[in-house]
Amino acid sequence: MKASAYLAVSLDNFIAREDGRLDWLKGEAGTEITLSAGEDFGFTEFINSVDTVLMGRQTFEFVYKSGSWPYRGKRVIVLSQSLLQAPVGYEDRIELQYGPAAEIWENLVRSGTAHVYIDGGLTLQSFLKLGLVSELTLTRAPILIGSGVPLFGSLPRDLQFKHLETRSYGNGFVQSRYRLIR
């Protein structure tokens, strides 16, 4: 089973402000970033390559509040100990699970998952700690936001990646793809 992450990140490695806002990504924070219409930074290609999306509760709440659902046709698992049931309208869209990351991983393998998209800072960190994330796609926005939700955390050992490719976009985003060297 392959696991990949696809995230947008500030130059100082934050994926959201402390309160979850992503205004800095859209140019609403006084920046000159302009998202060009029709440019999805490879997201459609990426999401089409996975069969399962695994996200933390915080990320789910953000997506849920945004009202968009870019995961049609995918199995979506939300990790949470506090969310006891799916919100109304999401009962058929998400499965709630909780437990140690290693157990979640075993369940995914057992259920025949081929490629899982791991999303959310804490969630990603727990799978990185186990050395289970084989590919990282990071899209860097040219902005420092000083504080926020961190992309990375501590690790029990170094994880070395091979750089696969880097693309730059007219709005200043720079996207790099890395594969874990095992």
Ligand X SMILES: NC(=O)c1ccc[n+]([C@@H]2O[C@H](COP(=O)([O-])OP(=O)(O)OC[C@H]3O[C@@H](n4cnc5c(N)ncnc54)[C@H](OP(=O)(O)O)[C@@H]3O)[C@@H](O)[C@H]2O)c1
Site residues for ligand X per CB under 6 A = 7-8, 15-16, 20, 55-59, 62, 79-83, 98-99, 101, 104, 119-123, 126, 149
For ligand X, the closer of residues 50 and 181 by Cβ is: 50
HSE-up of 29 (CA within 13 Å, CB side)?
15
For ligand X, the closer of residues 134 and 150 by Cβ is: 150
**Measured at the alpha carbon of residue 181, what is the angle toward residues 142 and 57, in degrees to the nearest 5?**
60
User: Which backbone phi and psi does 93 adopt, to 5 degrees?
Assistant: -100, -30
| Minimum distance of ligand X from residue 103's CB (angstroms) | 8
Give the residue nearest to ligand X (CB): 56
Element (H, E) at 59: helix 57-66
| Minimum distance of ligand X from residue 25's CB (angstroms) | 7
For ligand X, the closer of residues 97 and 134 by Cβ is: 97
For ligand X, the closer of residues 45 and 181 by Cβ is: 45
Closest CA to 40 of 178, 179, 167, 182: 167
| Minimum distance of ligand X from residue 142's CB (angstroms) | 14
For ligand X, the closer of residues 65 and 157 by Cβ is: 65
Provide Rg for the chain, Cα atoms. 16
Exposure class string for 90-102: b at 16+ Cβ within 10 A, else e = beebbebeeeebe
| Minimum distance of ligand X from residue 47's CB (angstroms) | 13
| Minimum distance of ligand X from residue 70's CB (angstroms) | 12
β-pairing, 115-119 vs 2-10, is parallel
